[in-house]
Structure formats: structure tokens, C-alpha cells
Amino acid sequence: MRSRAAASYAGIASDTRGGSAATRFGRVFLRAMVVARDLGAFFLITLAVVLTKFNVASKVMHPMMRREMTRAGFKLLPMAAFMALGLGFLVIGQSVALLTQVGAQDLTGTIMVTVIIRELGPAVTALLMLSKIGTATVIELGTARALGEVEALEALGIDPVHYLVAPRVCGMALSTFALTVYSILLSLAGGYMFAFLQNVPITPGVYLSQIGNALKWSDFILLAMKTAVFGGIISMTCCYEGLARPLDLGDVSEATTRAVMRSVVLCVVFDGIFLLQTLI
Amino acid sequence: MIGHPDKSSAPAAGGSAASPVMSCRTEDPPSVVAEIQELCLASPGRPGPAASHSLSCTLRQGDYHVVVGGGSSGKTRLLEILAGLARPEAGAVRLFGRDTSALRGDDWMEMRRRVGLVFDDGCRLFPQMTVIENVALPVCYHLNQSFEEVRSFVDPLLDWMGITHLRDQIPGRIGRGWRPRIGLARALTTKPELLLLDNPLAGLDPDQTSWWLGLLKSLVRGHAWYGGVPVTVLVTASDPAPWNGSECLFTYLHDVNQDPIEPPARQT
């Protein structure tokens, strides 16, 4: 049960009227803390359910998980491929002209690793996942909540977090990782295609060796962590906004925009933390 | 609101003193399914007339209760509390001998398998699933079986409910009169010992009403689906008239905003 102090903080945080700039900042900060606490609690509950009930009702849950992975991964592949090829074209297109002017074409691979593998690949894939699957998730869960389907599941002795949240979180997290890898590979291929079309004197072997030399083992670890964190943030935030609080049908659109905003903010914050980690 | 079980049910109405329900009571005291003590039926944030009164009653195996009341008398709230979907503001509920306030998480999930709830107004069916998937979901989930594997178990239930012809349709395309039957079928798949129904006769034609009354009576007496074991049934209604003549106990929840609902005339 929520403590009296926590309820008081939540009340203060939700009141944004009046006061000095410092007071308003304090309220916003407090509200952010309340949201972070609730999201953290939801994350821990979901993690516990995923770990303890992974094989419970597996003949019902595992097909659902596969369906989520198909929806969030396989069906998103054409869009992800389109964006990845475009990204590769843009990055190489902008950088090759500059590198040629200063005679530093050897840095093409390094730029691709720095820009695509470390930063833009995971970020763009996460944005794609959020815009296509995350918003659909909030709408689905919010509508289910508003129409009383969650209570219906509970009345049947079915844990809503297990039935509704766990497959979506697992599906989205795994799909984010898989799509990011595909996107990066296609971006690198798209980059080389552009360089080839622009008659940049670089062979595939040289291009790949440049990328290989620029890559470190820590990049693979960072990529895995980033995609897992981005996928986790998006899936958790969207499920939380759709499911964790009582909604009317009219609240679903607001919950969707809130989920998008909070997912973007959290992804940027964690991206910053990863960047600091690599700089240190 | 007054919580008074009104034993207006008369054996002569549809059965006799020799009916299974009555004989069960006289020969061997049936086990207590639910004990409700001083239960407040007010919803949080919605202070209503029910807030100032409390309900006390005991449900035994094979009991057939009809709770009658107006729109905001707390009927649905009572069912939600018994099904563990809401916590009471005051009072205590014991289900199958266990204090529900002490139940947490998975304990409640286990308890809910012994309590079936059929919701009001569309029965909260899952709109993206077909009828057979809606009905089979609880048994698939709890027994860890695929939909194909439980088909032979669910088909007789659909047949019993008279909804076999709707099995592959989605709920949105089904007439409102059929939806409560699907909700009932879904609730019965786990063979709950306590069956709660929220206003199941609302908006039904006389044929459908007659079907429902006959089915509930057969459940209370002990249907073959349950191996002949009597089920405890608690139904809510805004109009007691259709139940007049059933072997049921009436409980009236009076809403001070409305005129009291009169008990039906006693059958002779």
C-alpha cells in the first residue's frame, strides 16, 4: 500500500499551479521522481513475473511471445531496412565530400562505426519501434483497461502482467536488438553503395577492414546493452502507461502521447549515460 | 440498504422438499462457501447510499441467492469484492474458510479459480478472440494446453450453452442476447464452486430468460458438468420479477435515492 508520505509527494507533484520558479521546478522534479518510482516498481514486478512464470502456461504464452516478435521484428523489417539504407546514404554522402577535401578517406570506416554502430543505429531503430509498436501497445492495453478486459482476466485467475505485459516486453526487447543489428548491417551496406556510386576509390575489403579496425570489443557490449535498455524502456513505458492505472477510453490518446514523450526522454537520458561511460 | 435474506423462495415454486438443494440442507449441513460480515458496499470516491449500511450473510454450497437493488445500491460492487477485484471499505469476507483480506498475489489467483464471475453489459469478452478462444482461454492457461487440445473439452460446453453456431465468430458480431451465454461458458470452464452473475437477465427476451432460469436451477441442483455437485449461485438483478418462482433466496439492497423494490409475491 502506498505510504502517506508517498501519497503526499504525489499530490504535491501533480499540482503545478502557481509559486516561484524554484517551487515550480521542485514540483516538476518531484513529479518526475514519482513517475520514476512507479515505473521502477512496474519494471521490478514485470521482471519478477517474466523470471518466475516464463514456463507457466507455455502453450498459451510462448505462441503469444512469438506473435509479438513477429509483429515487432519481422513485420518491421522492411521499414527498418528502408530507414537504414537511407541513413547509410546520408552519413556517407555528407562525410565523403568533407573527407575527400581534407584527404582523409581512410576515416570512412571510423565514421561509420562512430555514427552508425554506436549512436544512430540503436537510436533510430528505437524511435521506429516506439512510433510503430510502442504506440500500438499503449492503445491496445489502454483500450483493454478501459473496457474492463483486465478485470476479466483477473476474474479468470489469469495474471494480467503475465498475460498482457510479459509477451510484449520480451517481444519488443528482443526485436529491438534484432532490428538494430539488421539496421546497422544495412546502413553499412547502404554507405558502401553510395560510396561506390560516387566513385570513391575504396574497395569492399578496404571498407570492411576500416570498419573492423575501428571496432572494439567494448562496442559490441555497448551495442547489446544499449539495444536491451532501449527496448526495455520503450516496452516498459508503453505497457505502464497503458495498463498501470485506470483509464477511460478518452484517456487513451493522452496516455499514448505521454508514453512517447517519456520513452524518448528516458532513451536520451540513458544514451547520455552510455556516452559518459565510454568517455570515462 | 438492508441486508436481509428473504426466504421468499417456496419449494412449491419449482421443486419440492425432496429437491436436491432442500434435501442437502436437511440431511447433511452443506459447507460454507462465503461468509460476509458487516460488508460496506460503497465505492471509494463515490459515496453512495450503500455507504451507510452494511451487508451480512452466509452462502452455503447449493445456495441460490438473488441480490436485488437499484442502480447505485452496490450490487456490482458486492460481486467485485467476492471475486477479489475490489477491496471493501469496511467489513470482512471469508471465501472457503479463508479471510480474503489476508490473500495476496498468487493466493488470490488460486482463489479466483474457485469463483466464477459473469460480468454485466457485454460480459467483457476479449474482442480480438473468437468465441471458442474466449471460452477456452482459462482452461488453456491453467492446464497449459493449446486451443486444439482443449477443443474436445470445450465443445460440449458450447453445445450446452447453445452457442456452437457462434464458435468461430468474434464477440463484436454477436447479438447482445448471446454474449452473457459466452461469458457464462467462459466462467464455467474452470468449474467454479461459487458462481457470480451480474444482472444476467437484463434485456433478454422471455425465451432467453426461461433458458437462463432453467440452467441456473440445474447448476444449483447439481449438473452433470459438475458431476452432480451443487454449485453456489449469487445473482444480481434490478427486477426480482423474473426470479419469482425460482428456488432462490432474495436479498434486497435498498437505494435511498430510489423507491424500495418490492419483493415478488410469494408463490403458493
CATH of the domain at B52: 3.40.50.300
Residue B148 lies in a domain: yes
Residue B108 shares a structural domain with residue B216: yes
Could you tell me if B101 and B119 lie in one domain?
no
Q: For an interface test with B, give the residue of A44, A60, A162 to mutate (most B CBs within 10 A).
A: A60
Contact in structure between A154 and B85 (CB atoms under 8 Å): yes
Q: State whether B180 and B221 are in the same domain.
A: no
**The predicted structure's pLDDT at residue A49:** 94
Contact A237, A266 (CB under 8 A): yes
B51 lies in some domain? yes
The model's confidence at residue B154, banded by pLDDT at 50, 70 and 90, is very high
CB contact under 8 A, A152 and B119: yes
- Average confidence (pLDDT) over B125-141: 94
Report whether A113 contacts A212 (CB < 8 A): no
Torsions phi, psi for A157 (to 5 deg): 80, 20
CB–CB contacts below 8 A, A to B: 64
- The number of CA neighbours under 13 Å toward the Cβ of A254 is 7
Domain boundary among B191, B224, B246: B191
C-alpha cell at B187: 466462467
The pLDDT tens digits for B53-87 are 678 889 999 999 999 988 778 888 999 999 999 98
SS3 B166: helix
With contact defined as beta carbons under 8 Å apart, do B115 and B98 qualify?
Answer: no
pLDDT in tens, A180-214: 999 999 998 888 888 888 777 788 888 888 888 88
Domain match, B89 and B124 both: no
Where is the domain boundary, B134, B160, B191? B191
Handedness of CA B100, B37, B75, A1 (dihedral sign): negative
Q: Residues B89, B40: contact at Cβ < 8 Å?
A: yes
Name residues of chain A where pLDDT drops below 70. Answer: 1-18
Asked if the structure places residue B249 within a domain, the reply is yes
**Cross-strand bridge partners of residue A149:** none
| Residue B137, domain member (yes or no) | yes
DSSP secondary structure letters along B135-157? HHHHHHHHHT--TTTTHHHHHHH
Domain assignment present for B79: yes
Q: What ipTM does the predicted assembly reach?
A: 0.81
Most confident range (mean pLDDT) of A243-252, B152-161, B255-264 is B152-161
CB spacing of A163 vs B142 below 8 angstroms: no
Contact status of B137 with chain A (Cβ, < 8 Å): yes
* Closest CB from A63, A154, A158 relative to B141: A158
Would you say residue B40 lies in a domain? Answer: yes
- Structure confidence at residue B3 as a pLDDT band (50, 70, 90): very low
Both B103 and B143 in one domain: the answer is no
Quickly tell me which residue has 567494448 as its cell.
A218
3-state secondary structure of B228: coil
Are residues B151 and B244 located together in one domain of the fold?
Answer: no
Shared domain for B24 and B85, answered yes or no, is yes
Cell reading at A42: 512496474
Read off the DSSP letter of residue B115. Answer: E
Tell me the residues of chain B between 53 and 82 that have a Cβ less than 8 Å away from chain A: 80
Q: Note whether B123 and B98 are same-domain residues.
A: no
Looking at the fold, whether B54 and B185 belong to one and the same domain comes out as: no
Q: Which domain holds residue B119?
A: 115-191
pLDDT of A16 reads 53
**Grid cell in block for residue A266:** 528516458
Query: Is residue B119 located within the same domain as residue B158?
Result: yes
Residue B262 lies in a domain: no
Q: How many CB atoms lie within 10 A of CB B87?
A: 11
Tell whether B196 is covered by a domain: no
CB B125 within 8 A of CB B179: yes
Cβ A174 vs Cβ A73: under 8 Å: yes
Selecting from B125, B138, B146 the residue whose C-beta is nearest the C-beta of A158 gives B138
Contact between chains at B124 and A59 (C-beta distance less than 8 A): no
Q: Are residues B150 and B253 in the same domain?
A: no
Total domains present in chain B = 2
Contact B90, B38 (CB under 8 A): yes
Rounded Cα distance between B96 and B102, Å, is 13
Same domain, B218 and B104: yes
Taking residues B145-169, report their average pLDDT.
93
Per DSSP, B260 falls in state P
CA distance A192 to A116: 13
